[in-house]
Amino acid sequence: MGSERITLLSKRELDKMRQAGQVAAELLNYLDTLVKPGVSTKELNDAAEQWTRDRGARSAPLGYGEPPFPGSICTSVNEVICHGIPNEKQILQDGDIINIDVTPIVDGYHGDTSRTFIVGSPSPLAQKLVAVTEASMWRGIEAVQPGGRIGDIGAAIQEYAEAEGFSVVRDFVGHGVNRVFHTPPQIPHYGTRGKGKRLRPGMVFTIEPMINEGTHEAEIQSDGWTALTKDRKLSAQFEHTVAVTADGVEVLTKLA
């Protein structure tokens, strides 16, 4: 995850992050038009890769990590918590939910965002899980303020999600992001108010809660990437990249 030093971004660097964030937001909106029953996750991946290249950007996930991630985006369907690998055999079905996580690199800077899409007509439970997950992300974002603590973010998310009857994944957390894909600080989506590192203007990181229908426990598949819920119940996720400002928070991956 890099050194423990937290980078504070300059005004010029924040402008670059805004540009990358807007490209990421536009990419998700484009993919929204393609999500429907009968479409494969490989088709979504290839469309995202072409769209990204057409804008002179690069897909950060492609070849990232060890083993190298084989996709340009992550496509996590139903019981997949995160890091789902796109493939031609995975065809979206009516009632599925799918998280699509995109990170285009624009002029060296990463725009990292994700959204859970509903395919066709989902169950009421799936609809509730998706709605609660998105709302929990926004509660986490609203908890960001200069002088606050990282624990404030996780506590806001955890309190809301658990009150709605769901669980918060512990194994994967938000992270600092700039020219580097994953860098300090780590942003857990659970925690205690008043605990953790202090938030300072110029800090940029993701808030990306993964909320499960059942247990919060995860299992990693043999491919080294795909994370499933241990009980194979549904999982949803939403993600924005945010900057701590002098008077609050700015969402960098929200469509302007």
Segment 61-117, tens digit of pLDDT: 999 999 999 999 999 999 999 999 999 999 999 999 999 999 999 999 999 999 999
Q: How many CB atoms lie within 10 A of CB 8?
A: 14
Residue from 124, 132, 176 nearest 157 by CA: 132
Is residue 256 included in any domain, yes or no?
A: no
Average pLDDT, the chain: 97
**pLDDT tens digits, 116-174:** 999 999 999 999 999 999 999 999 999 999 999 999 999 999 999 999 999 999 999 99
Exposed e or buried b per residue across 37-73, where buried means at least 16 C-beta atoms within 10 angstroms of its C-beta:
eebbbbbbbbbbbebbeeeebbbbbbeeeeeebebbb
Domain of residue 94: give its range: 11-251
Q: Which two tokens stand for residue 204?
A: 């940029």
Answer for the pair 174, 189: CB distance below 8 angstroms, yes or no.
yes
- The predicted pLDDT at position 3 comes to 45
**Cα–Cα distance between 84 and 224 in angstroms, integer?**
10
Residues whose CB is less than 8 angstroms from the CB of residue 215 and which lie 6 or more positions away in sequence, other chains included: 167, 229, 230, 231, 233
- The predicted pLDDT at position 2 comes to 41
Is residue 66 included in any domain, yes or no?
A: yes
Residue from 166, 152, 174, 151 nearest 101 by CA: 174
**Cα–Cα distance between 153 and 139 in angstroms, integer?**
8
pLDDT-above-70 percentage for the chain: 99
Is residue 223 included in any domain, yes or no?
A: yes
pLDDT band at 4 (very low <50, low <70, confident <90, very high): confident
Specify the DSSP element, H or E, that contains 254.
none
Residue type at 246 in one-letter notation: A
Answer for the pair 95, 7: CB distance below 8 angstroms, yes or no.
no
Rounded to 5 degrees, φ, ψ at 227 are -105, 125
**Cα–Cα distance between 256 and 191 in angstroms, integer?**
31
**Cα–Cα distance between 149 and 155 in angstroms, integer?**
10
Q: How many CB atoms lie within 10 A of CB 22?
A: 18
Is residue 2 included in any domain, yes or no?
A: no
∠ CA 6-236-177, rounded to 5°:
15
Segment 185-214 shows an average pLDDT of 98
DSSP 139: H
**Total tally of structural domains belonging to the chain:** 1
Is residue 6 included in any domain, yes or no?
A: no
Is residue 108 included in any domain, yes or no?
A: yes
Segment 198-226 shows an average pLDDT of 98
Is residue 5 included in any domain, yes or no?
A: no
pLDDT band at 1 (very low <50, low <70, confident <90, very high): very low
Question: Cα–Cα distances in Å, from 43 out to 31, 127, 162, 229?
Answer: 10, 24, 35, 25
pLDDT-above-90 percentage for the chain: 98
Residue 136 belongs to a domain with what CATH number? 3.90.230.10
Is residue 4 included in any domain, yes or no?
A: no
Answer for the pair 76, 235: CB distance below 8 angstroms, yes or no.
yes
pTM for the predicted model, two decimal places:
0.97
Crossing angle (nearest 10°) for helices 124-142 and 150-163? 160
